[in-house]
C-alpha cells in the first residue's frame, strides 16, 4: 500500500468513526473522549465550588454530583427552602465526606448586582477561598421575533448576561490575586447556532461566548481557566419558566416524559467531566442535535439548505417536541 493510499485510508476510517459517534453519542468528540477515558473527578476533592441556579435542574444535579467527591459547595438561588433541600441531599450523597459546614446556602437573586460583592465576601469568609464559579442561573424564551417587546430583551440580558459578567469579574479579580481558578458558565447550543423563536435568549448566549471567549484569550498564559457548557434540550422546568415576548409572562409549556431530551442527571455528569478536565467548550445533547451543530459550523451552506428544506418550524418542533 502506497503512502497516499495509507493516508486516504486513515481519513476514511476517521470519518467512519465520526459518523458512528454522531449517531450514538450525546456529546461532542472531545467531551466523549474525556467521559470514556479521563473523567478526573478526584480533582474536585477539597475544592470550593460556587453554583448559581442550584435549587433545581442542571445546577442542582451538578451539586449532587460534586458532593460525591468531597467538594465543598456554595449553593445559590432565590428559593432558600429548596437550597436547603439540595444541601441535605448533598450531605447524604457524600457518605461522610461532607458536613453541614462544608455546604454554604447563600440565597441570592443574581440580577441584584449591587449585592454581588458582599455575597462573594460571604463565600471567602466562610471557606477562606474559592476555586470554581459555575454561573448556571438563567432562563430561556419562546416568542416570534417581531412580537418581542424591548423590555423582554432587557430582562433577559440582565439575567443571562449582565449578572453573569458582573459576578464573574469580581471572581476573576480574586483569581488574579491567588493565581488560579476556573470560571464556568452554562450557555446553550443556541449560543453557538441560533434557534428559531428564541431571539432574545439566543442573543444572550451568543453574548456570553463573546465575553468569555475574549477572557479566555486574555488568560491563555495563566492558570485561570474558562469553561462554557452548551447543552441542548434537557428535562428541567426550563421551558415552563421561559420568557415570551411580553415582560412578566411565562411560556408555561411542560414537557412529556417521551420527549427527545437529555436527563438533567446526564447533563450534570457531562458538565462535571468538562469542568474537571478544564475543557474550553463542551456540547451535550441527544441525537440529532450534535450532528446538526457540527454541520452548521463546518458545512454552513449544506446546513442552511437543510433548514430551507425542512423549515424552521420543524426545527422548533424538534427542539421542544411539540
Q: What is the pLDDT of residues 40-82, one digit of tens each?
A: 999 999 999 999 999 999 999 999 999 999 999 999 999 999 9
Which residue's entry shows cell 478526573? 40
- 26-288 to CATH, choices 2.30.33.40, 3.40.50.720, 3.40.190.10, 3.90.1150.10: 3.40.50.720
Give 150 or 4, the one with higher predicted confidence: 150
Residues belonging to the active site: 201
Round to whole Å and give the CA distance between 23 and 299.
Answer: 18
Sign of CA dihedral 283, 226, 190, 235: positive
pLDDT tens digit string along 117-129? 999 999 999 999 9
Nearest by Cα to 289 from 34, 23, 17: 23
Mean pLDDT of the chain: 92
pLDDT tens digit string along 268-307? 999 999 999 999 999 999 988 998 898 899 888 988 888 8
Beta strands 48-52 and 72-76 are parallel
What ranges do the domains of the chain cover?
Answer: 26-288
**% of the chain beyond a pLDDT of 70:** 96
List of long-range contacts for 234-237, beta carbons under 8 Å, 24+ apart: 234/57, 234/58, 234/261, 234/262, 234/263, 234/264, 234/267, 235/259, 235/261, 235/262, 235/263, 235/264, 236/56, 236/57, 236/58, 236/264, 237/56, 237/57
What is the separation of C-alpha 134 from the centre of its chain, rounded to a whole number of angstroms? 9
Beta bridge pairs of residue 27: 284
Give 238 or 319, the one with higher predicted confidence: 238
What is the per-residue pLDDT for 15?
65
CA separation, residue 296 to residues 81, 285, 287, 302, 321 (Å): 42, 15, 15, 8, 21
What is the per-residue pLDDT for 253?
77
Max alpha carbon distance in the chain (Å)? 68
pLDDT at 316 over 80: no
What predicted TM-score, i.e. pTM, was given to this entire model? 0.93
Amino acid at each position: 500500500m502506497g503512502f497516499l493510499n495509507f493516508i486516504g485510508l486513515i481519513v476514511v476510517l476517521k470519518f467512519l468513526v465520526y459518523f458512528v459517534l454522531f449517531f450514538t453519542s450525546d456529546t461532542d468528540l472531545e467531551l466523549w473522549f474525556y467521559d470514556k477515558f479521563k473523567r478526573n473527578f478526584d480533582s474536585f476533592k477539597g475544592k470550593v465550588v460556587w453554583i448559581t441556579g442550584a435549587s433545581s435542574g442542571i445546577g442542582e444535579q451538578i451539586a449532587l454530583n460534586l458532593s460525591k467527591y468531597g467538594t465543598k459547595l456554595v449553593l445559590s438561588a432565590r428559593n432558600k427552602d429548596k437550597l436547603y433541600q439540595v444541601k441535605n441531599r448533598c450531605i447524604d450523597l457524600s457518605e461522610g465526606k461532607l458536613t453541614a459546614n462544608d455546604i454554604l446556602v447563600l440565597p441570592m437573586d443574581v440580577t441584584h448586582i449591587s449585592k454581588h460583592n458582599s455575597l462573594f465576601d460571604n463565600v471567602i469568609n466562610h471557606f477562606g477561598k474559592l476555586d470554581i464559579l459555575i454561573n448556571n442561573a438563567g432562563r430561556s424564551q419562546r416568542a416570534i421575533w417581531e412580537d418581542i417587546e424591548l423590555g423582554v430583551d432587557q430582562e433577559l440580558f440582565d439575567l443571562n448576561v449582565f449578572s453573569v459578567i458582573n459576578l464573574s469579574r469580581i471572581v476573576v479579580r480574586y483569581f488574579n490575586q491567588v493565581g488560579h481558578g476556573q470560571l464556568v458558565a452554562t450557555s446553550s447550543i443556541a449560543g453557538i447556532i441560533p434557534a428559531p423563536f428564541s431571539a432574545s435568549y439566543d442573543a444572550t448566549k451568543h453574548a456570553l461566548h463573546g465575553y468569555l471567549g475574549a477572557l479566555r484569550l486574555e488568560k491563555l498564559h495563566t492558570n485561570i481557566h474558562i469553561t462554557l457548557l452548551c447543552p441542548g434540550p434537557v428535562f428541567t422546568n426550563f421551558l415552563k419558566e421561559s420568557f415570551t415576548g411580553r415582560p412578566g409572562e411565562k411560556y408555561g409549556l411542560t414537557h412529556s416524559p417521551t420527549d427527545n431530551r437529555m436527563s438533567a442527571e446526564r447533563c450534570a455528569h457531562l458538565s462535571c467531566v468538562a469542568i474537571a478536565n478544564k475543557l474550553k467548550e463542551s456540547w451535550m445533547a441527544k441525537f440529532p442535535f450534535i450532528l446538526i451543530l457540527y454541520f452548521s459550523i463546518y458545512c454552513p451552506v449544506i446546513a442552511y439548505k437543510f433548514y430551507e428544506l425542512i423549515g424552521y418550524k420543524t426545527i422548533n418542533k424538534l427542539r421542544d417536541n411539540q
